[in-house]
Structure 1
Amino acid sequence: MGNGSSCFGQSHFTEVNGLRTHALVGGAGDPLVIVPGLGCASWMYTRLAGQLAQERTVYVYDPPGHGWSAGTWAYPTRIEHLTAHLAAWLRQMGLSGAALLGHSLGGEVILDLAVRCPGVAGALVACAPTGVPENPSVPIQLLRLLADLPRERLELLRLGFHAYSVPGVRRLFLLAYDQRRHLTGPLLGNVTLPTLLVSAGRDPVVHAWTIREIQRHVPQAEVQVIPGAPHALTDACPHEVARVTLDFLKRLESLRNN
């Protein structure tokens, strides 16, 4: 693989439940959808998308109220809103059954989608996913993010500042607060899709034991660790994340064909 690209794909807009919804689209091959983390936007995932697009048609989705996708004052303010919108967008785009790669809160959303909307998601790749009751109070979540900042690329911090200004403080707070009551072990136990959990070796936001706890609940989950990676492993280590993702999907295809 090459070094990826900071310029990736073409913008695609579609109307979903009255909201203009954006995705960056590029590459060729079977589809793979990237679902961003809390407050993040499509432009923060172009390094990873450039790697994946060498073998897949990659859609970098902007959730409502994030990136270039529209939201409203009241929507989304709960994680279930994010799940419902992603399901509607996938159906409208003809992407039901596509492989999904979610980062951080995006990982929690795709796990939620697999349970709440059977048949919409394909294989799941959750990178540094949130999604267990250990999610701390919002102030502690913020402290963890601050601890992670020195480990990230300076360019990502610039892109992230722009991205976080779109949803605004109120929406970010409400979605972060909603994490404390969202996914639980019993719900995760209903995820029946093949699942890869990608753990970042130097992540102060989502600890390694959190990944192990999710694996304990999800029957078909396996874990890959990217040593030395910070929370935004999708940006810091795009080659490594793309490699484990594509290898995982190829193994699934080989099993289906045999």
Structure 2
Amino acid sequence: MTDGHSLVVPVNGLSTHAWVRGQGQPVVIVPGLGCASWMYARLARELARERRVFVYDPPGHGYSEGVRHYPVCISHLTDHLAAWLTRLNLQGVPLLGHSLGGEVIIDLAARYPHLSSALIACAPTGIPENPSVRMQLLRLLRDLPLERPGLLMPGLKAYVHCGVRRMVKLARDQEDHMTGPLLGRVTVPTLLLDGLSDLVIRSWTVRRIQSDIPDAVIRQIPGAPHGLTDTHPKAVASFTLEFLRQQGL
């Protein structure tokens, strides 16, 4: 990222990084599994036209510190995000999560209801649709040719930094994590963004999540693969900003 600045603070003993750009009311971007802040530069640029954007690096991801035993499950990611939001006095801001980041923000809204005012979940994981880590990998490989070529090297850099062991443990924890009762505890306005060319998270999965979150709405983006935040940043930003204006946020 060339605009904005890095912000590093200690959270639970770990140096935690976020990239900050723009002015106005804040919105926080939470990356997907193994992903890093630099992979969301195109989306952050679009959102920063109207908002102050914080692109958060979860522990063990991007420029944030992690340790061997942490994080290795989704509750670790959620608890750290909650502590980071509190540390920066960002309680009650809108949260935008991509893929596993979408699952994390939904989990946070259910378990820490005071910490978010709205959710935008882009291609969210969250139900046991993927029966194994192997199946998830196969779907990601099929989706890869649909992604923007310019994301390949930044993505590989992020995955290498996160590490195979951590990514596998987090992926395995997805299989039984999200349940109907948990989704039903989400009370903030929720927007689900569905890429119609996504081979990883299918449209029926997004509809299933919608059925369990009261009053959640879906917006579809034609031609968008799993990495819709990078391939279609203008559409994601447009739906996000429109949704937040409708909610008076």
| TM-score, normalization by structure 2 | 0.99
Alignment of 1:206 with 2:201, yes or no, is yes
Contact residue 101 and residue 107 of structure 1 kept, 8 A: yes
Alignment of 1:231 with 2:226, yes or no, is yes
Alignment of 1:195 with 2:190, yes or no, is yes
State the match for 1:15 in structure 2.
10
Letter paired with 2:59: P
Letter paired with 1:213: R
Contact residue 40 and residue 55 of structure 2 kept, 8 A: yes
What does 1:114-129 correspond to in 2, within 5 Å? 114-129=109-124
Letter paired with 1:217: D
Contact residue 107 and residue 128 of structure 1 kept, 8 A: yes
Report sequence identity in percent: 60
State the match for 1:3 in structure 2.
none
Name the SS for the 2:161 alignment partner.
Answer: coil
Cα deviation, residue 184, structure 1:
0.8
Cα deviation, residue 136, structure 1:
2.1
Which runs of at least 4 in structure 1 moved beyond 3 Å after TM superposition?
A: none
Contact residue 42 and residue 67 of structure 1 kept, 8 A: yes
Contact residue 22 and residue 61 of structure 1 kept, 8 A: yes
Name the SS for the 1:253 alignment partner.
Answer: coil
Which of 33, 52, 55 is residue 57 of structure 1 equivalent to? Answer: 52
What does 1:156-175 correspond to in 2, within 5 Å? 156-175=151-170
Name the SS for the 1:77 alignment partner.
Answer: coil
Unaligned stretches of 5+ in structure 1? 1-5
Unaligned stretches of 5+ in structure 2? none
State the match for 1:143 in structure 2.
138
Task: Output the CA distance in 2 between the equivalents of 1:191 and 1:104.
Answer: 18
Contact residue 197 and residue 211 of structure 1 kept, 8 A: yes
Cα deviation, residue 72, structure 1:
0.5
Cα deviation, residue 135, structure 1:
2.8
Cα deviation, residue 7, structure 1:
2.8
Contact residue 36 and residue 62 of structure 2 kept, 8 A: yes
State the match for 1:78 in structure 2.
73
Moved more, 50-59 or 131-140: 131-140
Alignment of 1:243 with 2:238, yes or no, is yes
Letter paired with 2:67: T
Letter paired with 1:63: P
Cα deviation, residue 167, structure 1:
1.2
